[in-house]
């Protein structure tokens, strides 16, 4: 099977995957190329973190990144599910462009485990950085293995020490805080929020160890450190009445919902001492896809010109050289269905969001799909809105009060502008072979194929074992 570059393919139980490449550009002066450390949480809610307003979960180390760097407060995942979000993150492109979004159809898959993958003609930032002489380490936590966290941490720290002459790219893909919440004894029962809180606090401890090592090795000023989550917390992850998924703070909805803010607004912290300001918050819309363009810029490369890249270089914004992000519109997909669109109106600073489709909560008004564990993207489980539900996101971040032509004089003008952007966006989409598909017209994300390795990450069908 033609699948992802071998960089991303390895058996589930292989703990660590290192790719050490010799610098290829002979004359490349690498002294100014920063090391990159990416800390990627799984299913973490934005409301679980101290520096994003949580007062009872203790995350002093993640908070330290905010204190010593930049906190993005409107950082948005390209999708509210693992695979499409991580695909977009790696490639700087909406997953629909690479066929890595769910499609609905009756097709029976021959083998779930091998039916799809990141097409080899997609370019990840890891590939580009390798070409620029970066040592690359991807460290993933194996599933459900006790003592996995300390082992994984040890590998991350030894990678840093081994690669400190630089430049290096370290991507730590936490299993935290996805169920089943494998947590070492030291942290069990220590938080105020049960096993979920324990798991968040354990991850924070791991982040702290990594930051301490960077400091100790004198790499703090030469390393760009980035912390984020692949999407929002999973509201429906419950065992009886016990919450096992994350908290999305003031934001409505969560994981697997295409448009609601809770599924896509995630923490975004950047630290690069001496280069980026410290303790600053940036509230304009930014995307997880931006890391692609940012890293490509930092290594002195240009992004691929033969395809649409949706991410934007964040450096000018992070350094405070500009006030606006380059994202005028963001498209919020649920599978292949466009559910909502965000419009950042730069002149006024207003952020609007129009929902064309939204999931039907069950029970009604519960804020999630507790009956089915995941909200669907299409079919009978969704409502189509005509006119779309429009929110003034900057004034109403909880998406509580939909606007109308009475309450918002510009109502139709705003919708017209957004509709036009959708039209233009659709023109940029090409037909690509679908990489993911399901055997039922009803979207079932837990059936999505996975090979257990990044960006396929942890599979929700594993939950059956709990």
State which of positions 271-330 bind ligand NAG (CB under 6 A): 273-274, 307
Query: Which residue number, 92 or 335, has a Cβ lying nearer to ligand NAG?
Result: 92
Of 51-59, 61-69, 124-132, 256-264: span binding ligand NAG (CB under 6 A) = 51-59
For residue 208, what are the contacts with CB-CB under 8 A and spacing of at least 6? 60, 61, 64
What are the residues facing 172 on neighbouring strands? 39, 139
The least distance separating ligand NAG from the CB of residue 9, rounded to whole angstroms, comes to 18
Instruction: Look at the block and give the residue holding tokens 């290096």.
Output: 168
Nearest CA to 341 among 332, 349, 350? 332
Query: Which residue number, 48 or 140, has a Cβ lying nearer to ligand NAG?
Result: 48
Query: Which residue number, 131 or 417, has a Cβ lying nearer to ligand NAG?
Result: 131
Residue 390 tokens, joined: 């429009």
Of 30-38, 104-112, 155-163, 242-250: span binding ligand NAG (CB under 6 A) = 242-250
82 lines the binding site for Ca ion (CB under 5 A): yes
Query: How, if at all, do strands 70-76 and 286-287 pair?
Result: parallel
State which of positions 157-216 bind ligand NAG (CB under 6 A): 193, 196-197
Residue 49 tokens, joined: 């973190």
User: Which of ligand NAG, Ca ion, none interacts with 190 (beta carbon under 5 to 8 A by kind)?
Assistant: none
Query: Which residue number, 181 or 340, has a Cβ lying nearer to ligand NAG?
Result: 181
Of 38-46, 119-127, 155-163, 353-361: span binding Ca ion (CB under 5 A) = 38-46
Residue 459 tokens, joined: 């599979």
User: Which of Ca ion, ligand NAG, none interacts with 274 (beta carbon under 5 to 8 A by kind)?
Assistant: ligand NAG
42 lines the binding site for Ca ion (CB under 5 A): yes
The least distance separating Ca ion from the CB of residue 458, rounded to whole angstroms, comes to 7
User: Which of Ca ion, ligand NAG, none interacts with 221 (beta carbon under 5 to 8 A by kind)?
Assistant: ligand NAG
What are the residues facing 91 on neighbouring strands? none
Instruction: Look at the block and give the residue holding tokens 């990450």.
Output: 457
The least distance separating ligand NAG from the CB of residue 351, rounded to whole angstroms, comes to 22
In the set 33, 41, 43, 50, which binds Ca ion (CB under 5 A)? Answer: 43
State which of positions 219-258 bind Ca ion (CB under 5 A): 230
Distance CA 408, CA 296 (A): 41
Rg (CA), the chain: 21
H/E stretch holding 330 reads: strand 329-334
Query: Which residue number, 57 or 451, has a Cβ lying nearer to ligand NAG?
Result: 57
The least distance separating ligand NAG from the CB of residue 55, rounded to whole angstroms, comes to 5
57 lines the binding site for ligand NAG (CB under 6 A): yes
221 lines the binding site for ligand NAG (CB under 6 A): yes
SS (H, E, C) 364-414: CCCCCECCCCCCCCCHHHEEEEEEEEEEECCCCCCCCCCCCCCCCCCHHHH
Distance (Å) of CA 430 to CA 97, 213, 434: 7, 45, 11
Q: How far apart are the first and last CA of the chain?
A: 31
Query: Which residue number, 182 or 298, has a Cβ lying nearer to Ca ion?
Result: 182
249 lines the binding site for ligand NAG (CB under 6 A): yes
Of 75-83, 205-213, 380-388, 398-406: span binding Ca ion (CB under 5 A) = 75-83
Phi and psi (nearest 5°) for 294? -65, -45
63 lines the binding site for Ca ion (CB under 5 A): no
68 lines the binding site for Ca ion (CB under 5 A): no
The DSSP annotation for 266-327 comes to: EEEEEE-TTTS-SSEEE-S-EETTHHHHHHHHHTT----SSS-------HHHHTTS-SS-S-
Classify residue 32 by burial, with Cβ atoms within 10 Å: 0-12, 13-18, 19+: exposed
Query: Which residue number, 57 or 288, has a Cβ lying nearer to ligand NAG?
Result: 57
User: Which of Ca ion, ligand NAG, none interacts with 82 (beta carbon under 5 to 8 A by kind)?
Assistant: Ca ion
* Phi-psi group of 274: left, alpha or beta (phi > 0 → left; psi -120 to 50 → alpha; rest → beta): left
Q: How many residues does the chain have?
A: 466
In the set 111, 433, 464, 465, which binds ligand NAG (CB under 6 A)? Answer: 433
Of 69-77, 115-123, 413-421, 434-442: span binding ligand NAG (CB under 6 A) = 115-123
Residues that bind ligand NAG (CB under 6 A): 47-48, 53-57, 119, 121-122, 193, 196-197, 218, 221, 246-247, 249, 273-274, 307, 430, 432-433
Residues that bind Ca ion (CB under 5 A): 42-43, 82, 230
């Amino acid at each position: 099977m033609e699948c992802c570059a071998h960089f991303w393919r390895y058996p589930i139980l292989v703990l660590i995957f290192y790719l050490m490449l010799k610098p290829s550009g002979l004359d490349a002066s690498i002294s100014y190329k920063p090391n990159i450390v990416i800390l990627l949480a799984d299913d973490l809610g934005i409301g679980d973190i101290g520096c994003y307003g949580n007062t009872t979960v203790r995350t002093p180390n993640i908070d330290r990144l905010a204190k010593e760097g930049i906190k993005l407060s409107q950082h948005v995942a390209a999708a509210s599910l693992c695979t499409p979000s991580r695909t977009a993150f790696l490639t700087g492109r909406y997953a629909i462009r690479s066929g890595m979004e769910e499609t609905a159809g009756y097709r029976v898959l021959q083998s779930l485990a091998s039916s799809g993958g990141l097409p080899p003609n997609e370019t990840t930032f890891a590939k580009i950085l390798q070409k620029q002489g970066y040592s690359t380490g991807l460290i993933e936590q194996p599933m459900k293995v006790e003592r996995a966290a300390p082992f994984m941490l040890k590998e991350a720290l030894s990678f840093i020490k081994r690669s400190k002459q630089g430049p290096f790219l370290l991507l730590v893909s936490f299993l935290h805080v996805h169920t089943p919440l494998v947590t070492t004894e030291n942290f069990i029962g220590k938080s105020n929020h049960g096993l979920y809180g324990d798991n968040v606090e354990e991850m924070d401890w791991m982040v702290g160890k990594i930051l301490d090592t960077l400091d100790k090795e004198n790499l703090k000023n030469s390393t760009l450190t980035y912390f984020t989550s692949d999407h929002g917390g999973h509201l429906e992850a419950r065992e009886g009445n016990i919450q096992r998924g994350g908290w999305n703070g003031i934001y409505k909805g969560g994981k697997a919902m295409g448009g609601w803010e809770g599924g896509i607004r995630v923490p975004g912290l950047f630290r690069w001492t001496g280069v980026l300001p410290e303790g600053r918050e940036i509230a304009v819309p930014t995307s997880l896809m931006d890391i692609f363009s940012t890293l490509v810029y930092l290594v002195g490369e240009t992004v691929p010109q033969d395809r649409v890249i949706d991410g934007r270089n964040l450096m000018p914004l992070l350094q405070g050289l500009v006030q606006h992000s380059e994202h005028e519109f963001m498209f919020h997909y649920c599978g292949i269905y466009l559910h909502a669109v965000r419009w950042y109106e730069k002149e006024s600073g207003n952020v609007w969001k129009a929902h064309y489709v939204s999931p039907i909560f069950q029970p009604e008004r519960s804020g999630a799909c507790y009956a089915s564990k995941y909200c669907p993207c299409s079919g009978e489980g969704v409502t189509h809105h005509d006119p779309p539900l429009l929110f003034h996101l900057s004034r109403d971040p909880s998406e509580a009060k939909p606007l109308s032509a009475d309450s918002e004089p510009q109502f139709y003008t705003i919708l017209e502008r957004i509709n036009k952007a959708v039209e233009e966006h659709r023109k940029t989409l090409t037909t690509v072979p679908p990489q993911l598909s399901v055997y039922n017209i009803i979207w079932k994300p837990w059936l999505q194929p996975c090979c257990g390795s990044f960006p396929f990450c942890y599979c929700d069908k594993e939950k059956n074992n709990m």
